A and B are shown apart, each in its own frame.
Chain A
Amino acid sequence: MGSGGKYTGDGFDDISSGYKKERVYSLGDAFDRKKKNPSTTSKSIEEEKIVEKPGKNKRLKRSAAKREAEERNERKEKKIVRPLEEVMRAAPEKRTTAVASDKKRSYYDFSIIVIVLFLLVAGLFSLYSVSYYSSAKYYGDAMFYVKRQAIFAVIGFALMIGISFVPYHFYTASIKIGKFGTRPVFLFYLICIVLEMAILLMGIAAGGSKRWIQLGPIKFEPAEINKVAVILMTALLIGKSARNAGKLFEFFRVLVFVMAGLILPIAKQNLSSGIIMFAIAFVICFVGSDKKRWWIVLLIIGALAAIILVKSEGYRGDRFIKWFEVETNPDSYQVREGLYAIASGGLFGKSFGQGTVKLGYLVEGHTDEIFASICEEIGVFGIACLLLIYLLLIWRIKVIADNAPDAEGGLICVGVMVQIAVQVALNICVATSVIPSTGVTLPFFSYGGTALVILLVEIGLVLSVSMRITE
């Protein structure tokens, strides 16, 4: 540690093109910077006092010193304001110059694009295989679902590529429009609050709860959009304030803005989405903070809230009963059919298109219960391969997070990673009756436009972070 950091002294340069480190994995930069910028403020000394207590060993002292150095630099870079156009332009320009000079070559993770393309294509094929019967029956077109899903896949893919070129700092930077100054993420946050209200007033019910909103010709799920808001907001709140890492103040900010503002209203209608969003927020907070104690409290609060939510709605309690009696209860029909499908798939499955459970038995065979339909056709072996591909994607996102130029970018990646991982795990748990039935889609496979587009948008965010990585 401690060698190799070269600091240009230009804070903006840091942000737009990454700082000029020789090695990505190093805290040495911060340490070096201390020497170059020896000025300290009284506030930092106060910080040190809090951190450093008598009797701590040398190692703690060193980490305190390091933190101090980091914070000093952070403070130094305040109050730099640049025109928006310049910011938007900055990234590509810097990139080309970097390539030209062969010193600042930025990174773009093509492997993620390959994995995503594979999953999209595999998802469309599977969707065709498990939905041709019901689409032909209800819409007179065996490709009905596949066509619609393909359109969303194309839109989502285009959005993903587009967003990957927008520097992710744009969302959290404060932008002045005339006299008013705000951050885009706050506007996004407000939109989410409005949608949450709208769903209470004009939501369309499906499966026992209101989840959909119809805006003209477009029908969508605000819960999916909220997931993006949760990722961006939590990453902003935690990523920008490592100074207060794990403090009570941060805990309350997360509790009020994220938990109360974004998650609770959704969770009331749609507990599974609430749980996923909570998991995203929790893992971002937990990973992003030095002290974990308040996040443990947050976890307990979340668990209590979940229990209250289960008790408050009658149909959720029923689901538990159905879960316990999955083999006998007539209402556990769907899950039971799913289990039959999984069991009859065997080790290698019945091969593509040969599954029978979708033939009128599994009503949600193309959406939430798609896992069972796929399992019947590809077997245990195929499922293991599929999970391996998901893990590959998750691993790539993790690598980007590890190398992210700053905490905010890293934590955005953590949020996306957690969302994919949790959705896959929950979906399989429901299909195998490990947990009670709840509506969770299988990323890239389940039929559903909003979910797919949002998922690809999030991958776009990850790619955007990967682009800020320079060698």
Chain B
Amino acid sequence: MSTILGVPLPALFGQLLLGLINGSFYAILSLGLAIIFGLLNIINFTHGALYMMGAFVAWMLLNYAGIGYWPALILSPLIVGAFGVIIERLFISRLYNLDHLYGLLLTFGLALIIQGLFRNQYGVSGLPYGIPAELQGAQNLGFMFMPNYRGWVVIASLVVCLATWFVIEKTKLGAYLRAATENPTLVGAFGINVPRLITLTYGFGVALAAFAGVLAAPVYSVNPNMGADLIIVVFAVVVIGGMGSILGSVITGFGLGLVEGLTKVFYPEASATVIFIVMVIVLLVKPAGLFGRAA
């Protein structure tokens, strides 16, 4: 059997595939962050907490209302997205004229509050959430045993990311959005309600986080800290991809998932830090990020 650095090739394929799966979560989350930053200029630190809320809402729908995984995949992002709209209207909209730092502090504070509330109510050990019956079981791919659910995560994530990219880059709505970012006054003069556009954009970014949360619920532990553990990595992904770059965040998300997957094989101790090492290197060489436009 052929090997690379002592690791058999089939095993390596398996690890790469796993990296891709983790990359799917990074991609959806960093996509939401990139959209919010690109269009609202807000560094949304609540993103991790909202991802966690997405998973919790799915759990609540199941346990309090008997609503299963598939409806939750739609309902939970809608509910959490609506919550995001309220946050934007009540708090964030007051900060658009101030420095980035204020938005960062506000969203960071909100994240701590949301996490604290869930922690008080549900504790940190996490809640069980099963894999939907349709996706149970696994395929034997020859080189690895691939759970159906993980395959679904990659597909769902790719579809959502591409659809989002398409809407923003190729449709009229997307054109309005991009125009409103460039010059809100002028776009407003054409009769487009810019504040509402911005609110809905934030709601959409938040809904993406909640969608990732529902996807994660069956495979990771549903607990109040699940977002906090992930958010720093996702921020690194956004920085590497280039703040605000939509395609950049998706490609970087999947790419760094692969890098992390490889590190787990060759030097597992570093797998939690490798993304930050990449970030440092990228910032040194290309300060605007891999896909960012220099400011």
Answer yes or no: are A and B bound together in one complex: no
- Chain B positions within 8 Å of A, measured between CB atoms, are none
